[in-house]
């Protein structure tokens, strides 16, 4: 960072105190809520603050309070999926809103590459932020462990893989229960050869959804389980492979909406009717995906923005000491949204 251009030096507490004819301590009290100060003085100080355009110096304040009023959001996804998977957009929006409500700032930390974890750890340990929010990613990711080892309280979005480090609080939706809802719906429609387009095996959300699929279809034919990676392309490809292998399939539960959209593309290309020939259910209820599918996608809805907000609330409780790491995680419920595709 370059030098700061010499900004006009702003008024200090001292100046306000002089103007109002009181001491620094009194001004400080007023600025921080005014408890225990006579109303007349409060007014006088407020006036002086107004006239001088006083704004507290944040660095000085946090030097003594050891609080920063800022929370880091750590994004460790490989670049291509970051925001294009609208998941993050919504989650970050919820986080941003809730942080604003708590009068805290959002500092975005973006992992630039595999060698970049050190920078993140250093930043967290540097005492810039009061807490951190991170997204649980791949089970082989070093990040959760690194973060947990840092001195900064952290809440995860998505359940971290078991064994990826010490217990950390997280917010996640009921992936397994949601998957059960989806598959039961297909069963209720009378479908009998229900396939699952699974998400990547190193993410707990994908694994939980597979587990939910098996909860309902205990004896599911392994041939009906196809591997994808949460991208639209992988959904299209997995669907194609599935059709080649098992042309008799009559329903598909995709692990997310993007893969479901890919599957729909393949089905359309092959002239297979949805839902008449094959019913399709997604997961997420991603507005920007669901809006454009043909036919409209039946899917499992999770409240992603709400989860973002919950992450912040949970973090605040941890910072307050009102919640502790191991026991405080939050699981949100899902609901099936019925549209045309199933």
Minimum Å gap between C-beta 315 and DNA is 21
Residue 14's binding partner among DNA, its own copies, none (Cβ under 5 to 8 angstroms by kind) is DNA
Question: Does 276 sit near its own copies (CB under 8 A)?
Answer: no
Give the span between the Cα atoms of 253 and 62, in whole angstroms.
51
Tokens coding 258: 């993007």
Binders of DNA in range 13-52 (CB under 7 A):
13-14, 21-26, 28-29, 31-32, 36-38, 40-41
Question: Which residue's CB is nearer to its own copies, number 8 or number 39?
Answer: 8
Among 64, 140, 163, 327, binds DNA (CB under 7 A): 64
Question: Does 1 sit near its own copies (CB under 8 A)?
Answer: yes
Question: Does 149 sit near its own copies (CB under 8 A)?
Answer: no
Residue 201's binding partner among its own copies, DNA, none (Cβ under 5 to 8 angstroms by kind) is none
Give the span between the Cα atoms of 342 and 331, in whole angstroms.
26
Binders of DNA in range 141-180 (CB under 7 A):
none
Question: Which residue's CB is nearer to DNA, number 55 or number 108?
Answer: 55
Q: What angle do CA 290, 306, 301 make, to 5 degrees?
A: 35
Of the candidates 151, 97, 111, the one whose C-alpha atom is nearest the C-alpha of residue 129 is 151
Residue 96's binding partner among its own copies, DNA, none (Cβ under 5 to 8 angstroms by kind) is its own copies
Q: What angle do CA 312, 318, 321 make, to 5 degrees?
A: 145
Of the candidates 253, 227, 221, 257, the one whose C-alpha atom is nearest the C-alpha of residue 241 is 227
Residue 269's binding partner among its own copies, DNA, none (Cβ under 5 to 8 angstroms by kind) is none
Question: Does 1 sit near DNA (CB under 7 A)?
Answer: no
Q: What are phi and psi of 122, to 5 degrees?
A: -65, -40
> Which residues contact residue 292 at a Cβ distance below 8 angstroms, ignoring those fewer than 6 apart?
261
Binders of its own copies in range 45-84 (CB under 8 A):
55-60, 62-63, 65-70, 73, 79, 82-84
Contact 73, 106 (CB under 8 A): yes
Give the span between the Cα atoms of 15 and 6, in whole angstroms.
20
Question: Does 125 sit near DNA (CB under 7 A)?
Answer: no
Among the residue ranges 26-34, 209-217, 237-245, 316-324, the one whose residues contact its own copies (CB under 8 A) = 316-324
Contact 173, 307 (CB under 8 A): yes
Residue 25's binding partner among DNA, its own copies, none (Cβ under 5 to 8 angstroms by kind) is DNA
Question: Which residue's CB is nearer to DNA, number 21 or number 78?
Answer: 21
Evaluate the CA torsion angle 293, 81, 225, 287 in order and state its sign: negative
Tokens coding 297: 């996608």
Among 50, 51, 122, 201, binds its own copies (CB under 8 A): 122
Evaluate the CA torsion angle 262, 266, 272, 278 in order and state its sign: negative
CB atoms within 10 A of CB 167: 14
Give the span between the Cα atoms of 99 and 94, in whole angstroms.
9
Binding site for DNA (CB under 7 A): 9, 12-14, 21-26, 28-29, 31-32, 36-38, 40-41, 54, 56-57, 60-61, 63-65
Binding site for its own copies (CB under 8 A): 1-5, 7-8, 10, 55-60, 62-63, 65-70, 73, 79, 82-84, 86, 88-89, 92-93, 96-97, 100, 102-110, 112, 116, 119, 122-123, 125-128, 130, 151, 153, 232, 288, 292, 316-321
């Amino acid at each position: 960072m370059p030098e700061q251009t010499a900004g006009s030096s702003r008024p200090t507490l001292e100046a306000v105190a002089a103007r109002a004819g009181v001491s620094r301590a009194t001004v400080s009290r007023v600025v921080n809520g005014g408890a225990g100060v006579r109303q007349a003085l409060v007014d006088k100080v407020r006036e002086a603050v107004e006239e001088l355009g006083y704004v507290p110096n944040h660095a000085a304040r946090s030097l003594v309070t050891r609080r920063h009023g800022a929370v880091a959001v750590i994004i460790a996804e490989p670049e291509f999926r970051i925001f294009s998977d609208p998941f993050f957009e919504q989650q970050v929006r919820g986080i941003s809103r809730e942080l604003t409500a708590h009068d805290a700032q959002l500092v975005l930390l973006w992992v630039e590459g595999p060698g970049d974890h050190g920078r993140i750890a250093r930043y967290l340990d540097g005492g810039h932020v009061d807490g951190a929010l991170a997204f649980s990613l791949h089970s082989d990711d070093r990040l959760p462990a690194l973060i947990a080892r840092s001195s900064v309280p952290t809440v995860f979005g998505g359940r971290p893989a078991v064994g990826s480090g010490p217990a950390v609080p997280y917010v996640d939706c009921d992936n397994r229960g949601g998957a059960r809802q989806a598959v039961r719906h297909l069963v209720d429609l009378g479908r009998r050869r229900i396939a699952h387009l699974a998400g990547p095996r190193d993410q707990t959300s994908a694994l939980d959804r597979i587990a939910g699929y098996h909860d309902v279809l205990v004896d599911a034919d392994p041939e009906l389980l196809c591997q994808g990676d949460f991208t639209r392309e992988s959904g299209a490809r997995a669907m194609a492979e599935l059709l080649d292998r098992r042309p008799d399939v009559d329903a598909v539960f995709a692990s997310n909406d993007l893969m479901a959209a890919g599957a729909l593309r393949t089905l359309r290309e092959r002239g297979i009717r949805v839902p008449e020939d094959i019913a399709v259910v997604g997961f997420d209820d991603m507005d920007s995906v669901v809006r454009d599918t043909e036919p409209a996608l039946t899917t499992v809805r999770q409240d992603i923005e709400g989860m973002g907000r919950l992450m912040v609330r949970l973090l605040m409780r941890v910072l307050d000491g009102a919640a502790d790491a191991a026991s405080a995680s939050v699981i949100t419920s899902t609901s099936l949204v019925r549209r045309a595709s199933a």
